Amino acid sequence: MSIIKQLQSQLRKKERSAVEITEEYLGRIEELEPKLKSFLCVTREEALATARQVDEKIARGEDIPPLAGIPIAVKDNIVTKGIPTTCASRILENFVPCYDSTVTQKLKDQLAVIVGKTNLDEFAMGSSTENSAYGRTQNPWDTERVPGGSSGGSAAAVAAGECVVALGSDTGGSIRQPASFCGVVGLKPTYGLVSRFGLVAYASSLDQIGPFGRTVEDTAILLQAIAGHDPHDSTSLKVEVPDYTQYCTTDLKGLKVGIITETLSSGLDSQVADRVTQAVKELEKLGAEIKEVSCPRFRYGLPTYYIIAPSEASANLARYDGVKYGLREEADNLLEMYTKTRAKGFGAEVKRRIMLGTYALSAGYYDAYYLKAQKVRTLIRQDFDNAFTQADVLVCPTSPTTAFKAGEKTANPLSMYLSDLMTIPVNLAGLPAMSIPCGFDHQNLPVGMQLIGNVLREDLLFRVGYAYQQVTDWHTHTPRL
């Protein structure tokens, strides 16, 4: 059952107060943080103040919104008024925004209890949360391993029970891959369904904010709270937001599920392949019709992404120059100030991607790299369009492997980039996709199955994911900490 609905029921019946629930989660954060490092900032006072507001509302006999009193964590590249927003970078070490992002304002309007800001790869550039300037987050299932990235802090916090749900951002798999590594549900919505106003930009045509939860129903409730048109975001879609929980049903009869054949080839861990295959058999038992579909250009997603995303990043990160906010290094002239500030403020991976992007956009290389990548992006989208004529939902592993050991891939950027092999094409096509836990490998590390929908078909993802969770118990397993 939905944890959010359980807690809300207890609040409404006055079995527990919002302050008691908040204290419980803050206590867990206090207990686990020295080991996990999921959070960069814990907002104890603000959280308890909101919880008291919820209790006062209930005492007056007023109805409360669906997320009222629910402890939630927010990735630290999402702007929060009066609370530090660092993007896990030295260049924004002391930055405290004077406004809220659209999503955090929506959470506050519902009286959700924001317990803190979570760790990430610096500026969301990474697949392991090892690129954070403030230390890496540990995977709750095995603290010698990474939680995935870049939203590793949010995924680890939900898995460890430090919050009920959390927000992350996904540019090439940064919600789904950590969800897979940490054994939780993570959803990347359709591009434009959730406002990006107040999300610190990495690659603007790919970035999307989305929810983490232990259950599919919890992610549905959180998505409903943050989705919808926003005039502050020019890429925001003008669409009606349905009640996503109405799609949490157990009937999959007549639904066509397509397995992407290209994702089950070499390079995939045999145990991951086995768990995903077993999960697909469960979907078949629930009434889904299983078929194989081909996306021939799927494998070109990785090289395409690593031209487009760094190109957009090189433009987006030009604003961090030491002039208006963030770190400023003293210098004798403006150019020297820029150089010193950016050299000290940015970490190695951010510098690498800025240089990659600047190169791809430079005179003489634009057509050969960036323009060609955009054309391949269109072909990848066409492959998905073709696949959706044969199936309603597509399925593949979320990541080729389970969580790897910290330090295992830091010396080889290409090996690290391959962690997002299965997730990147979805961002290039702007589609919604969800990772749900579907088992464990022999080392008791979680395995994730990725469900991919057509544009604005989150309803089908919730339908398939919810039905699967009703006949399996993978999502109920918790790490021993």
Q: The domain that contains 75 carries what CATH number?
A: 3.90.1300.10
Strands, E assignment, 237-324:
256-260, 289-293
Q: Considering the domain boundaries, does residue 48 fall inside one?
A: yes
8-41 pLDDT, tens digit per residue, is 999 999 999 999 999 999 999 999 999 999 999 9
Q: Classify 395 as helix, strand or coil.
A: strand
Average pLDDT by stretches of 10, the chain with 481 residues: 96 97 98 98 98 98 97 98 98 96 98 98 97 97 97 98 98 98 98 98 97 98 98 97 95 96 89 97 97 96 97 96 93 96 96 96 92 97 98 98 95 89 97 98 98 98 98 96 86
Q: Considering the domain boundaries, does residue 220 fall inside one?
A: yes
- Residue 169 sits at φ, ψ, to 5 deg, of -130, 150
Catalytic residue among 150, 180, 419, 435: 150
- Say whether 75 is catalytic: yes
- Say whether 150 is catalytic: yes
Count structural domains, the chain. Answer: 1
Q: Considering the domain boundaries, does residue 416 fall inside one?
A: no
Catalytic residue among 17, 101, 127, 174: 174
DSSP 8-state class, residue 99:
S
Catalytic residue among 2, 37, 38, 75: 75
Q: Considering the domain boundaries, does residue 74 fall inside one?
A: yes
The whole-angstrom separation of Cα 295 and Cα 428 is 13
The whole-angstrom separation of Cα 158 and Cα 72 is 9
The whole-angstrom separation of Cα 104 and Cα 85 is 12
274-299 pLDDT, tens digit per residue, is 999 999 999 999 999 999 999 999 99
Q: Considering the domain boundaries, does residue 361 fall inside one?
A: no
- Say whether 127 is catalytic: no
* Predicted TM-score of the model (pTM): 0.97
Helix/strand number for the chain, H first, E second: 15, 11
Q: Considering the domain boundaries, does residue 138 fall inside one?
A: yes
Which of 366, 327, 365 minimizes the C-alpha distance to 346?
327
- Give the structural domain span for 122: 3-249
Q: Considering the domain boundaries, does residue 128 fall inside one?
A: yes
Q: Considering the domain boundaries, does residue 410 fall inside one?
A: no
Strands, E assignment, 88-201:
113-118, 165-170, 185-188
The length of the chain, given as a count of residues? 481
99-130 pLDDT, tens digit per residue, is 999 999 999 999 999 999 999 999 999 999 99
